[in-house]
Every structure is written in structure tokens, then in C-alpha cells.
Amino acid sequence: MELTDDNLRTLSDYLQHTLSPDVNVRRPAEKFLESVEVNQNYPLLLLHLVDKQDVHLTIRVAGAVAFKNYIKRNWKVDDDAGDRIHIQDREAVKQLIVNLMLHSPEAIQKQLSDAVSIIGRYDFPNKWPDLISQMVEKFATGDFHVINGVLHTAHSIFKRYRFEFKSQELWTEIKFVLDKFAKPLTELFQVTMTLANVHANNTDALKVIYNSLLIICKVFYSLNFQDLPEFFEDNMKIWMENFHSLLTADVKCLQTSDDDDEPGVMEQLKSQVCDNIALYAQKYDEEFQSYLPQFVTSVWNVLVTTDLGPKYDMLVSNALQFLATVADRTHYGYLFEDVNVLTSICEKVIIPNMAFRVSDEELFVDNAEEYIRRDIEGSDVDTRRRAACDLVRVLSRYFEGKITEIFGSYVQVMLQKYEEAPVQNWRDKDTVLYLVTSLASKGQTQRHGTTQTNQLVDLTSFTTEHVLPELQKDASDTQPVLIADSIKYVMIFRTVLPREMVVGSIPQLVRHLIAYSQVVHTYAACAIEKILVMKTSDGSPVVKRDELVPVAPDLMNNLFKAMTLPGSHENEYIMKAVMRSFSSLQEHVIPFLGELLPKLTEKLSVVARNPSRPHFNHYLFEALSISIRIVCVADSNAVTSFEEVLFPIFQEILQQDIQEFVPYVFQILSLLLGQHKSGAIPEPYMVLFPCLLAPVLWERPGNIHPLVQLLQTFVQTGAAQISASQKVSGLLGVFQKLIASKVNDHEGFYLLQSLIEHFPDNTLSPYMKQVFVLLFHRLSSSRTTKFVKGLIIFFSLYAVKYGAGSLVGMIDSIQPEMFGRVLEKVIIPDVQKISGGVERKIAAVGITSLLCDSKEMMDGSYSHLWASLLQALIGLFELPEDESSLPDDHYIEVEDTPGYQAAYSQLAFANKKDPDPLHGISDPRLHLAQSLYRLSVACPGRVSPLLRTGLSDANRAYLKNYLDAAGVQLV
């Protein structure tokens, strides 16, 4: 693509179309841009368009967004797909982007800053060493629009230092940054603080200056997060004195109005200062000690003088977190141990910040999703309530008795106020429930809720007296907030409350599923799901099936009715509860499915038009999967009914290429096909089969595992039909593509294993030599641990299926004496790396076959390796897994966990149990003993001497145990 005016106009038109609300206009434009992005000059064309002043700003911003997304998709070089950006374009982008970003309007600057950050993640500092120098130069311009652009970019690049694991590479990068950036940043900080005083009466200037100070403080946090840099330690006085000035500053002209709910720059700045000093108090306590007392005083003043307005939430939250950090240091215990101090903290700081404010009530009613996200999803990290709760927990850790006593008296007063006037004083009850939860819960997990409690709080009696009565009320009789609080309370303490109390709450929770309040019916669904998933110590469900069956009609009816209520048409918590209820009821759900399945499929048709709720969609497919499993266990012929309903929807999803849903469709097709009798693939599936081999489907990482799973099901169900349809070469073409990939080679081995297991010998024999050649080519070009493990398992399965002699002969036909090198360089040194019960069994039985059934191993040119191979096999049985890595492993960018891929979500209820091709062999140790016995009978007097001279004493002892357990003795 040339940098011409015509191309710029074309690009501008297509970007305009991507903004269209009409999907028939938008999607073709998106597809076109995706198709041309591999062309040289495409990113430069985007940048030139973004920089053109005569183009409408909307188009320029769309271009900047497209550029950022292009960088996000393509800048990282995929080891399998190769580099999708021309090298000249890479260099040109890095030369252009910083200056372009700095003189662009703010909306464009933000997108380009993000792009710089993404490029920096991969190229900085090694491939972009002058980036910091380019940015630092701009500090001298004095233009704060430019300086702020630099600071934003620095912040976006350095922010990852807060989350990265410690490593030598990380230390080296941070040192490189500090050497070039710490001194200019400190000087800029000082200059900017001076300018704040010089322009004290110029509101416009102060807005820009304090915005700069805010970003400087954020960059400071990132650069200091991993360790205390020497430069900042030497200049701590400069930073801390100025931080204190900022924390206590009162800049009237920058104060936001009382009606404004969003934090202004001063609130954000003071909040970040609290973050910074909390970091030093927590991690660099000794160096920070002399500054701490003045900060404690100032933070206390901030807390007692700041009102309850939402705009101050982040500031108050971070101030409370600072106090919690200080209180969590035993040597500062003297600051808090006095009862008067603790009472003052409780009265003036904790209880006011736990109060349910008008703004919280507005959120509860008008933005239920945000309320839920903050309240039960744990994203309330920065809320006042969470910070106050954390402070309570820290103080309880050191002064449990005093804190419980102090709060106990407040709890009684607030409960009394509520009892006297429930309608007016319901907020007091809400505060009590939150306070008791904070006080009683000492340790909790997402899966189990609270697991440790404060022994001074009697949860059972509190629940009986103050929680269950609220649950039993109707929404019309009490505040919905209190019902939501009570449901949340049961949810949090579900593992520590008596079983009868938790199970007994289910009918009330089912009743609240149809509450009009979105928060209430969502919490009810969430609580039901979490209770149903609970297990006893022996692994059985806490809620017995016969306890659930009586409430099943109301449960099913109310769950589906809840999805018709405002705001909950695609409520993920409700759909998750549907899935869990189906799973818990099993065959008892069948009577309801006649009515419910049409509702689920209708829901699928609706969401397929515009998938926007990934969790809801996932649980919807899970619910369909569990329905198929349950019904087909009871009646295998019912699979055709599911196919009749689902195939038209699936066809639409595949034709429209709805990327989010395609992997799910493959998984459910696999589940459906697996319900058919072996040897008979129905016609609609055979029509689909050639399409599954199309290369374009295999380009998307999210498709690969479900596609392999589906192809395996085809092979297992109808190998003869596939063979007759002349598609074996197509399957092997897929194998060839997968095996060449370091990320997906294990999927290639899965497919190959299925082919070997299920195809007749004569079908594969014409192709097998080429398969081995491909495998050895990959071994020589990239020897990763994952590939070597897969290769050894494949060799072992081949030896079991076709005979050890056939394996030796095949490898030696590629190159004479090659099998000996495979034993010495691959199997013997690396068999210990194999993990997984079935995989280790296949390797063990395959190696046993080589030892006991191969003439070449016993009498031929490889007999000198016989004892070494047996030693390796006994090591596989007795030694821990070898977790050492091979040199090429660092190229693998994803976890070595089969099934995980970006953009791929495994359906738990559609997943098949990994088949065991050797299910007839229960214990490979006994199999080895029996095979050695047969060998000794065939070769009398030869095996025992080999064992005496070739095995270590320990391994001979292990082998004797195997022989004794099998009840055999060698001849």
C-alpha cells in the first residue's frame, strides 16, 4: 500500500463505515481493514491519516483506535505465524509515533500513548533504547501539553513494574530506566512544585500543573514498587517534603463543586500521595520511619475533615489503607493500643465510612451492575467500605478483644435505633450487618466464603436474631438493601454457619429470585449457586438431591422468570445458577426441560445476534451441555431432538462467523456426535466434516482445541466412514500444521493418537513414514519439553499398537542406526519428564514392549542399551517427575496446559474424559513384571545376568517388589 492521497481517502471511508450502527455496513468495513493490515505501509498510512489536520477529528480518532488495536494484535511476533509487520514499518513507526503523539489532540494522544506502551512492552529497552532519551528531551520544552504526553506515556510503560514478578531481566530494565529517568523526573517534580507557587492565582495554569504533579506521583509509584532505588533513597527528603505539602495543600480554585460526584485533580493527587506513602510504609519502613509521624497526623486530619461525598471515595479509601498499613506494623502498635485512640478511630473514621450513603442507594437502584461489581465481586478495593473493613481486620488482629468490645456497644445502639423505627433507621441495620461481617470474618476465599472467624462474635445467634428475619420478609415489608445484605451475609458465612441454617435458607432465596430489585434477585441467584456447589469433607454435596427436589419447581420457574426482569435479560449470575441447578438435580430436571430448553435456545438465538456478555454466554452453553448429557443418559435417542433444535442456530453462527461462539459450537457438536453409536456418523455431520479441515478455521487460536476435540470425536465415531470418504490426508494435513507449532504441537499429538487408535492399520500405513519424518524434522528444529514428551508418548503408543519391532524398523528406515540415537538422546534422558497418569502409563507400556518384545533390543545392535532403558523405566515409576526444561522452552509463550488458549473457554459439561487407550492394563509395574517373566521364559538364563550387571541396587530392589507383587520369578 503506497502512501498516496487515494489510499488515505479509501482508508478514511472504511474507518467511517466502522463507526456505523448498521452491522451490514460496519462488519464488511472491519473485515476489509483486517484483510489489508498485513500489507506494507498500512500502519504508516494510519498514522499519516491520524496526523492530517483537514480530516474530521472523529475519523482521526477512529484511525488512532484502529492503529492501537493493530499494534495490540500484531506487534508481538507469533512464533508460529511469523511477523505480520514489515521490518521497515516497525522502525518507521518507532521513529514517528512519539512526536506524533505529543502534538496530537488529547483524544488521539491517549490512543497513541497506549500504542507506545504496547510497543514498549516488547521492544523496550533492547529494541528501542532511545525511547527514554526521546521523552526526557521534551521536559526541556516547558510546554506542559507535551510534558504531560511524555508523562502519560512513561506511566503507561512503567505501570507494569507494579505487577511483574522479580527477575534479573526486570531489574536490568528498571536500572536502565532509573539511570536515564529518575534525575530528570525529580528535577521536573521540583520545578513543577515551584511553578505551583508562582502561579498560585492562575486557575488555568494550576489545572495543568497539578495534572502534571498527579502523573509524576503515579510514575514515582511505579519506579519505586519493586525495590527502593538508590537515587530515590538519596533524594527522599525532596520527595517526602513535597508529598507532605501536596497532602496538606488547600487550593481553593481547584476544588470541585458540591454537586460534582467525580474526583477533581486535587482529590486524585492526594489519593496518589497516600498510595505512595503507604508503599514506603509497607516496603521501606526503616528508611521512611522519620517521615511517618507527620504523615499519620496529616492523613488523620484528611479523614476527619473530608465529608461523605462520592468524589472523595478514592482519597478516603487510600488514606484508610495507609492507616491500615501502619497499624499492621507491630512496632507502631503504641500509636493505636490506647482504648481512647481505638474508640476515636471507630467513632470518627470507621463507622462513618461504613455508612450506607444516599449515593450508594442511588447506585443500588439506578446502576445495579456497578453496585454488584463493587459489593460481591471484590472490585470494591477502592471503596470506603472495603478500606474501613480492612482497617477493622488489621486492628482486630492486634487488639481483637478491645475492638470487639468497642464495636459491640455501637452495634447494640444501632440495632436499638433500627428496632425503634425500622423505616427511618434502616441504614443503621445495614451498617451493623457490614460491621459484623468485617469483624467476624478473619479469613475467606472466593470458593468457600469465610473460613476463619472471630471467636468473640456469636454468628449463629446473630444470624437467627437479625439475618433470617430479614430474609423471611417480603420486599414490600422492608428495604431491598437489607434483604440484599442478609443474602450476602448467608453467602459469606455459608461454610461456618450450621448446615441446617444454610440449607434451610434455600426456599427463602428461591422466593427472592423474583424480587423486582436487580441486586436482590442477582444476590439470591449467586447465593443459591454457591450453596449448591458446597461439598462436605467426604466430597459429597452439602445440599442433598432429595432436599433440592421439593423446591425444584419454584427454583426453575423463578430462575427463568428472573431473566425477564429489567436489567437481567443476560444476567450471568442467574444463568450460572441455572447451570448449577441442572447439574445438582440431574435426572430430576428432565420433567422441566420440555418447557425450559426452548427458552434457552431462544436466548441463544438472541445473544448470538450481538454477543456482549461473555460470562452469561459461557454459562448458557454450559446449561445446554449439561441438558444434553442428562437427557441422553436417560434416552440416547433424544440426541436427534437436540440436533433438530440446535443445528439451525449453529448453522447461523458458523455462517455469520460469530467468533465468540464458534468454539462453543464445536464443543457442543462434539458432545452431540459422541452420543451416536460408534460406526455411524449421521449425514449432517459428514457434510460438515470437510469444512472443519479448511485452513482458515485453524488460523484462530480459540478454535484449535475444540476443533481437535471434534475431529477426535469424528474419528472415534466413524473411522471407516472417514477413510471411505478419502479425507485421511486432510486430517494429516491438520496434524502437520499443528505439529509445526510450538504452542499447539500437543494438539497435533492428540489427533495423531486418535488416528492410530481407531483407524485400521492399512489406512495409515502409506502415510506413516512421512509422519515420522515430520516429527524428526520438528525435533531437530525446535526441541521443547512439551514436544519431546508428546513424541515419547507417540512412540510408545505406536510400539503398543503396531509392535516394538515395527517402531524400530520405521525409525531405522529413515536413517540406519537412528533408533539407537533416539533411545540415547530422547527416550532414556527425557522419559522422566512425562506427566499425567494415562500418559505415564502409555510410556511405561510402550517401553516395556521395546524391552520385552523387540528382537533388536535383546539380540540386535541396540542390546547394549537394554539395561539403561529398563533403568529409565523404573525411574519413571519411582522417581518424581523431572521438571527441568530444554533450551528451546523459552519460546513457548503460553502455559503448557493442554486446552488453554487465548480466546478459548472450555465447557466443563461438554468436556470428555481423556480416553485411556490401555484401559485393559491396570498397573504398568505388574505388566512389566509379567512381560519380563515371559521374556525370561523365551530366553532362559539371559535376563537375570542383565539385571545383575545393568541395574543399580535400588532399582533391583524395586524390580523385585514388582515381581513379587505379580507372583512371578524370572527363569
- In whole angstroms, give the CA distance from residue 209 to residue 196: 6
Give residue-wise pLDDT tens across range 753-778. 999 999 888 888 999 999 999 999 99
The radius of gyration of the chain from alpha carbons, rounded to an integer in Å, stands at 33
pLDDT surpasses 50 at 866: yes
Query: Across-strand partners of 541?
Result: 535
**Helix (H, G, I), strand (E, B), or coil: what is residue 452?**
strand
Q: What is the DSSP letter of 679?
A: T
Give residue-wise pLDDT tens across range 114-123. 899 899 888 9
Query: In terms of Cα–Cα distance, which of 825, 824, 723, 706 is closest to 766?
Result: 723
Span of 3-7, 267-271, 751-755 with lowest mean pLDDT:
3-7
The H-assigned helical ranges of 693-784 are 701-724, 728-739, 745-758, 761-781
| Domains in the chain: boundaries | 336-529, 544-677
State the pLDDT at residue 401.
Answer: 85
3-state helix vs strand vs coil in the chain, percent to 5: 75, 0, 25
Span of 151-155, 233-237, 900-904 with lowest mean pLDDT:
900-904
pLDDT surpasses 50 at 896: no
CB atoms within 10 A of CB 133: 10
State the pLDDT at residue 665.
Answer: 95
Give residue-wise pLDDT tens across range 494-542. 988 999 999 999 999 999 999 999 999 999 999 999 999 999 988 899 9
CB atoms within 10 A of CB 346: 22
**Residue 884, C-beta contacts closer than 8 angstroms, at least 6 positions apart:** 833
State the pLDDT at residue 84.
Answer: 85
State the pLDDT at residue 888.
Answer: 58
pLDDT surpasses 70 at 381: no
Question: How confident is residue 403, by pLDDT bands cut at 50, 70 and 90?
Answer: confident
Give residue-wise pLDDT tens across range 574-602. 999 999 999 999 999 999 999 999 999 99
- In whole angstroms, give the CA distance from residue 58 to residue 941: 88
Pair 66, 15: CB distance under 8 Å: yes
Q: What mean pLDDT comes out for the span 198-219? A: 92
Pair 804, 795: CB distance under 8 Å: no
Question: How confident is residue 470, by pLDDT bands cut at 50, 70 and 90?
Answer: very high
Q: What mean pLDDT comes out for the span 90-109? A: 90
pLDDT surpasses 80 at 308: yes
Provide the whole-model pTM: 0.81
**Residue 362, C-beta contacts closer than 8 angstroms, at least 6 positions apart:** none
Question: How confident is residue 81, by pLDDT bands cut at 50, 70 and 90?
Answer: low
State the pLDDT at residue 506.
Answer: 96
**Residue 297, C-beta contacts closer than 8 angstroms, at least 6 positions apart:** none
- Region of 657 (left: φ > 0; alpha: ψ -120 to 50; beta: rest) is left
Pair 432, 414: CB distance under 8 Å: yes
pLDDT surpasses 50 at 898: no
C-alpha distances out from residue 390 to 323, 439, 441, 459, 637, Å: 10, 10, 11, 20, 56
State the pLDDT at residue 903.
Answer: 47
Q: What is the DSSP letter of 823?
A: I
Q: What is the DSSP letter of 824?
A: I
Query: What is the C-alpha end-to-end distance of the chain, expressed in Å?
Result: 78
pLDDT above 70 as % of the chain: 95
Q: Could you tell me the three cell numbers for 449? A: 466464603
State the pLDDT at residue 910.
Answer: 80
Pair 752, 708: CB distance under 8 Å: no
- In whole angstroms, give the CA distance from residue 575 to residue 562: 10
Give the amino acid at 965: A
C-alpha distances out from residue 134 to 95, 188, 320, Å: 10, 16, 39
Question: How confident is residue 392, by pLDDT bands cut at 50, 70 and 90?
Answer: confident
State the pLDDT at residue 865.
Answer: 93
- Exposure string of 772-782, with b = 16+ CB inside 10 Å and e = fewer, is bebbbebbeeb
Burial class (CB in 10 A: 0-12, 13-18, 19+), 895: exposed
Span of 135-149, 232-246, 707-721, 903-917 with lowest mean pLDDT:
903-917
Query: Across-strand partners of 78?
Result: 82
Q: What mean pLDDT comes out for the span 258-280? A: 90
pLDDT surpasses 50 at 894: no
pLDDT surpasses 70 at 80: no
Span of 29-33, 607-611, 893-897 with lowest mean pLDDT:
893-897
Average model confidence (pLDDT) across the chain: 89
Q: What mean pLDDT comes out for the span 940-951? A: 88
